[in-house]
Chains A and B, each alone.
Chain A
Amino acid sequence: MLIFAISDKGGTGRSVTSTNIVYRHALQGNDVCYLDFDFGSPTAGAIFSVGSVARGTTRKGLHDYLLGEGAPEPHRVDVWTESDREGLRTKPPGAGRLVLLPGNEGGGELPAVEEETLRRCVQLFSRLDEEFDLVMVDVSAGRSFTAEMVLQATVRLPSVPFRWLVFHRWTRQHIIAADGLVTGADGLLDAGTRFGHDRNALRDRIRFVRTAVLEPDAAELVGLRDEQRAWLFACDTELRELASRHKVGRTSMLGKIPLDPILQWREQLISDEDVLASKIANAETAAAFDDLAKKIVDDAAWEGL
């Protein structure tokens, strides 16, 4: 299964959320890999705490591989052995493989989608699908050649299942933008249809994920004045209406991740140790990642809308 992680805007929490989802999926016993296709700023290494590739690899990364720069195979990082975080450096019993394919340090966006690049992308997906239960691809923000490339690649791999996750924050602007990225002019559906996907079938493979959500009844808000709380409630109700009008509402939402103070301070994986031992992370956050990690492969959550 290929999962493409995209967002309309930058800084929505796409990378932090998608990396935490694959991490949880690995803990659930699946072999997973994470592809950093955000060639302009490949930062997945930092989130997995692999210092040697914190800003992409200096070896043959995905960018070099796709552009055919002398790399028959892109550099792979085994997170369970190469992470600098002690808590990540041993594979827990029952966990699957957790492999990162970093981008290149100083890579830069794809300049176009050449046939040769597309061919390599198809080959890469096809080989990884043979080996991993789940392949998560951080496609970067907005409309890009990278998004076009993976839309085309999946047309050429008709028997490899794929799904899209569109990440957005819980604000007016973000809701409208996330909808626009999918249904707007030259959005995912337009572009996908142009490349040969069936519009409705593609739509069924797209779900939204809300990031850094502050629920009006959250513990963090206990100190608020009644007026503030009432205002937040009204806002939230209004956003819900807006979301359902834009078809970003409950039915097309796969899950939401609460705002977590530690993620506001640092882009990282949230381990059970962070929740149970050091208690720096909220249990709800870890549970939300865990839940999403199950839902991405749960067909019931992906039935036609």
Chain B
Amino acid sequence: MLVMGEVHTGLLQNSGEIPESTCRDVLQLLSGERVRVSRRPIVYAVSPDLLTGVDCRLPSASQSRIRGAGTVLSRSSITGGRVVQGSSFTRIERSGSDRRQPWSHYLARPGVVEVLGKVKSRDLADGFAEDPPADGLDLGAISARFLDVVQSSPLLDRRAPFKIARTRLRWVAEEGEPAIRFTLHSEQMRTVRLVHTGEFTPAVADLCEDLALHDWLLTALLVIIERARIGGTPGPEAAVKLAPAVDHLLHLWMPSARVDDVLSAYWESLDRRPGFTRQWQSLVDRVRDQLAVHTLAFLREKSGGGAR
């Protein structure tokens, strides 16, 4: 019927980026199973999918009491040894019967929540942007915990180079004419509504994680630039405040790196509007220009000082 997910993204709590082997060890803690790693074009390590059982109210724009039971798929990942994500999603499907089934039934269908009773797909999808009620399906809470597990790893020194909020991207995917809509809600909250042709595949979840990652990078860079108060503070001070962006963020921008070719059109459409890469590039240029100006001023000061 439809698929719902939520991705949380944050800065890995370590002073520097961590090497691939440490990524493996950190994610290994989550489960004994093997961590998957891909190296090109950027090191990306991901835990195996883990299941969380849920029996709860489902979102509903009309505030109907819809109940569902089943399991949610979640995973933690680390990109570039620097950015961490907790991601969860589940397919919502109609149940064959109106009665709650034993857990063995749901466990046989990992990543599926069955709706008990009548439900309209549209009503579910429209309700999903809202924060869930206390007894509602809360994929965000599950994803946050998957992120916490990584952040609290004893292998990390917890001396992150700067403080930054996590962002959350809540997404819902339906079948139909291809379309995508990305919306910024608050400082930390984003939603994506995506329509895809044909059956849902996990590649859609990968796409949403990739979007979440890049949206976080963009958000973090904006925050760092705002903190630097270019023009409002003396050059050297602004340069010092911009340095963490150069050291830790600028090389991580690789849109679509892990996105299935079939889905790359979605990224292209978002790059046209709202224009993620264009905004990123202009911010990067700003940071580099600022540092160049500062270096020039510094050199001029030094040589001037020498002449006197």
Contacts and interface: CB of A to CB of B under 8 A. Distances in A.
Contact of A159 (B10, B134, B159, B232): B159
Contacts of A123: 148
A47 B271 CA distance: 45
A301 B148 CA distance: 33
B233 A130 contact: no
Given A93-B232, A126-B148, A131-B166, A159 B140 contact: no
Interface residues of A, number: 21
Interface string B130-172: 0000110010110010001001100001111001111000000
B166 A130 contact: yes
A242 interface: no
Interface string B174-193: 00000000000000000000
Given A29-B227, A93-B229, A94-B232, A127 B134 contact: no
A257 to B, nearest CB: 27
A60 B132 CA distance: 13
Contacts of B151: 126, 130
A70 interface: yes
A275 interface: no
Contacts of A126: 148, 151-152
B217 interface: no
Contacts of B148: 123, 126-127
Contacts of A131: 163-166
A71 B148 CA distance: 16
Contacts of B11: 130
A132 B158 contact: no
A131 B163 CA distance: 5
B158 A159 contact: yes
A33 B108 CA distance: 45
A130 B134 contact: no
A70 B159 CA distance: 31
A160 B164 CA distance: 15
Contacts of B232: 93-94
Interface in A96-142: 96, 123, 126-127, 129-133
Q: A-side binding surface: helix, strand, loop or mixed?
A: loop
Q: B-side binding surface: helix, strand, loop or mixed?
A: loop
A31 interface: yes
Given A130-B11, A130-B13, A131-B164, A72 B152 contact: no
Chain B CB within 10 Å, residue with most, of A70, A130, A132, A160: A130
Nearest to B233: A94
B162 to A, nearest CB: 9
A133 to B, nearest CB: 5
Contacts of B10: 130
B134 A70 contact: yes
Contacts of A31: 163
Contacts of A127: 144, 148, 166
Chain A CB within 10 Å, residue with most, of B10, B140, B163, B233: B163
Interface string A139-159: 000000000000000000001
A199 to B, nearest CB: 24
Contacts of B157: 159
Interface in B1-54: 10-11, 13
A169 to B, nearest CB: 34
Given A130-B10, A130-B13, A70 B135 contact: yes
Contacts of B163: 31, 130-133
Interface string B107-123: 00000000000000000
Interface in A75-95: 93-94
Nearest to A96: B227
A160 B158 contact: yes
B167 to A, nearest CB: 11
Given A130-B163, A131-B165, A159-B158, 10 more contacts: A60-B134, A72-B138, A73-B144, A94-B229, A126-B152, A130-B10, A130-B11, A131-B166, A159-B157, A160-B158
Interface of B: 10-11, 13, 134-135, 138, 140-141, 144, 148, 151-152, 157-160, 163-166, 227, 229, 232-233
23 contacts: A29-B227, A60-B134, A70-B135, A71-B134, A72-B138, A72-B140, A72-B141, A73-B144, A94-B229, A94-B233, A96-B227, A126-B148, A126-B151, A126-B152, A127-B148, A130-B10, A130-B151, A130-B163, A130-B166, A131-B164, A131-B165, A159-B157, A159-B159
Interface of A: 29, 31, 60, 69-73, 93-94, 96, 123, 126-127, 129-133, 159-160
